[in-house]
Amino acid sequence: MPSDDYFHEGELVSVLTTEPLDRRLDYKAPEGGVHLGAYVQVPLGPRQVVGVVWGRGRGGFDLKKARGVHRVLDVAPMRAEMRSFLEKCAGYTLTPLSQMLRLATRAPGLANPPSMQKVYRRGSKEPERMTDARRRVLQVFDDYGGLAFTQRELADHAGVTPSVIKGMVKLGAVFEEDTPRDLPFPALQPDYGRKELTEAQEAASAELCERVRAEVYSSTLLWGVTGSGKTEVYLEAIAETLRKGRQALVLLPEIALSAEFMNRVEARFGARAAEWHSGVTMTERRRTWKMVGEGAAQLVIGARSALFLPFRDLGLVVVDEEHDNSYKQEDGVLYNARDMSVLRASLCSAQVVLASATPSLESWTNAQSGKYDLVELGARYGEAVLPELRAIDMRQVTLPSNRWISPVLETAVKTRMARGEQSLLFLNRRGYAPVTLCRKCGEQIGCDHCDARMVEHRFQKRLMCHQCGESKPIPEVCPSCDAEDSLAVVGPGVERLAEEAAERFEGARIAVLSSDLFGSARALKQQITDIAEGSADIIIGTQLVAKGHNFPLLTLVGVIDADLGLQGSDMRAAERSFQQMRQVSGRAGRAEKRGVAMLQTYQPEHPVLRAIMSGEERQFWRAEADERRLSGMPPFGRLAGIIISAPEAQDAYELGEHLARNAQALEAVGAQVFGPAPAPIARVRGRHRVRLLVKASKDTPLQAALGQWTKGLKLPNQLRLSIDIDPQNFF
**Residue type for position 238:** I
The interface partner of residue 449, options being ligand ADP, Zn ion, none and the CB cut-off 5 to 8 Å by kind, is: Zn ion
Residue among 229 and 565 whose Cβ is closer to ligand ADP = 229
Q: Considering only CA atoms, which of 225, 504, 269, 512 is closest in space to residue 381? A: 225
Query: Which region among 104-112, 287-295, 464-472, 699-707 touches Zn ion (by CB under 5 A)?
Result: 464-472
State yes or no: residue 197 binds ligand ADP (CB under 6 A): yes
Q: Which residues fall within 8 angstroms of residue 168, CB to CB, at 6 or more apart?
A: 123, 127, 134, 137, 174
Least distance to ligand ADP, CB of residue 262, Å? 14
Least distance to ligand ADP, CB of residue 595, Å? 13
Helix (H, G, I), strand (E, B) or coil at 516: helix
State yes or no: residue 422 binds ligand ADP (CB under 6 A): no
Q: Considering only CA atoms, which of 497, 587, 575, 573 is closest in space to residue 543? A: 587
Q: Which residues fall within 8 angstroms of residue 469, CB to CB, at 6 or more apart?
A: none
Q: Where are the alpha helices (DSSP H) in 440-565?
A: 494-504, 521-532
State yes or no: residue 228 binds ligand ADP (CB under 6 A): yes
For ligand ADP, the binding residue among 224, 279, 492, 493 (CB under 6 A) is 224
State yes or no: residue 134 binds ligand ADP (CB under 6 A): no
Q: Considering only CA atoms, which of 336, 331, 429, 430 is closest in space to residue 689? A: 331
State yes or no: residue 467 binds Zn ion (CB under 5 A): yes
Largest CA distance in the chain: 86
Q: Considering only CA atoms, which of 484, 486, 464, 483 is closest in space to residue 473? A: 464
For ligand ADP, the binding residue among 54, 141, 149, 381 (CB under 6 A) is 381
Q: Is the peptide bond prior to 635 cis by the omega test (within 30 degrees of 0)?
A: yes
For ligand ADP, the binding residue among 220, 226, 288, 555 (CB under 6 A) is 226
Distance CA 248, CA 238 (A): 6
State yes or no: residue 227 binds ligand ADP (CB under 6 A): yes
Q: Please state the three-class secondary structure of 151-187 as a single string.
A: HHHHHHHHCCCHHHHHHHHHHCCEEEEEEECCCCCCC
- CB burial of 43-61 (b: ≥16 within 10 Å; e: otherwise) equals ebeeeebbbbbbbbbeeee
Residue among 229 and 635 whose Cβ is closer to ligand ADP = 229
Residue among 225 and 417 whose Cβ is closer to ligand ADP = 225
* Residues 262, 273 contacting (CB under 8 angstroms): yes
Least distance to ligand ADP, CB of residue 231, Å? 3
Query: Which region among 292-300, 468-476, 642-650, 703-711 touches Zn ion (by CB under 5 A)?
Result: 468-476
The interface partner of residue 527, options being ligand ADP, Zn ion, none and the CB cut-off 5 to 8 Å by kind, is: none
Residue among 358 and 365 whose Cβ is closer to ligand ADP = 358
Q: Please state the three-class secondary structure of 112-160 as a single string.
A: CCCCEEEEEEECCCCCCCCCHHHHHHHHHHHHCCCCCECHHHHHHHHCC
DSSP secondary structure, 9-27, as one string:
TT-EEEEEESSS-SS-EEE
SS3 content of the chain, % helix, strand, coil (to 5): 35, 25, 40
Residue among 470 and 724 whose Cβ is closer to Zn ion = 470
Report the site for ligand ADP in 533-552 (rule: CB under 6 A).
550
Query: Which region among 1-9, 144-152, 229-237, 637-645 touches ligand ADP (by CB under 6 A)?
Result: 229-237
Least distance to ligand ADP, CB of residue 419, Å? 21
The interface partner of residue 381, options being Zn ion, ligand ADP, none and the CB cut-off 5 to 8 Å by kind, is: ligand ADP
The interface partner of residue 229, options being ligand ADP, Zn ion, none and the CB cut-off 5 to 8 Å by kind, is: ligand ADP
State yes or no: residue 462 binds Zn ion (CB under 5 A): no
The interface partner of residue 465, options being Zn ion, ligand ADP, none and the CB cut-off 5 to 8 Å by kind, is: Zn ion
Least distance to Zn ion, CB of residue 254, Å? 24
Distance CA 343, CA 319 (A): 13
Distance CA 171, CA 534 (A): 40
Cα–Cα–Cα angle for 395, 400, 405, nearest 5°?
Answer: 65
Helix (H, G, I), strand (E, B) or coil at 729: coil
The interface partner of residue 435, options being ligand ADP, Zn ion, none and the CB cut-off 5 to 8 Å by kind, is: none
For ligand ADP, the binding residue among 198, 247, 351, 645 (CB under 6 A) is 198
Query: Which region among 196-204, 238-246, 484-492, 678-686 touches ligand ADP (by CB under 6 A)?
Result: 196-204
State yes or no: residue 429 binds ligand ADP (CB under 6 A): no
Residue among 24 and 547 whose Cβ is closer to ligand ADP = 547
The interface partner of residue 224, options being ligand ADP, Zn ion, none and the CB cut-off 5 to 8 Å by kind, is: ligand ADP
- CB burial of 327-355 (b: ≥16 within 10 Å; e: otherwise) equals bbbeeebbbbbbbbbbbbbbbbbbbbbbb
State yes or no: residue 431 binds ligand ADP (CB under 6 A): no
Least distance to ligand ADP, CB of residue 553, Å? 13
**How big is the chain, counted in residues?**
731
Residue among 33 and 270 whose Cβ is closer to ligand ADP = 270
Least distance to Zn ion, CB of residue 465, Å? 3
- Site residues (vs Zn ion, CB under 5 A): 447, 449-450, 465, 467-468, 470
Positions in the binding site for ligand ADP (CB under 6 A): 195-198, 201, 224, 226-232, 381, 550
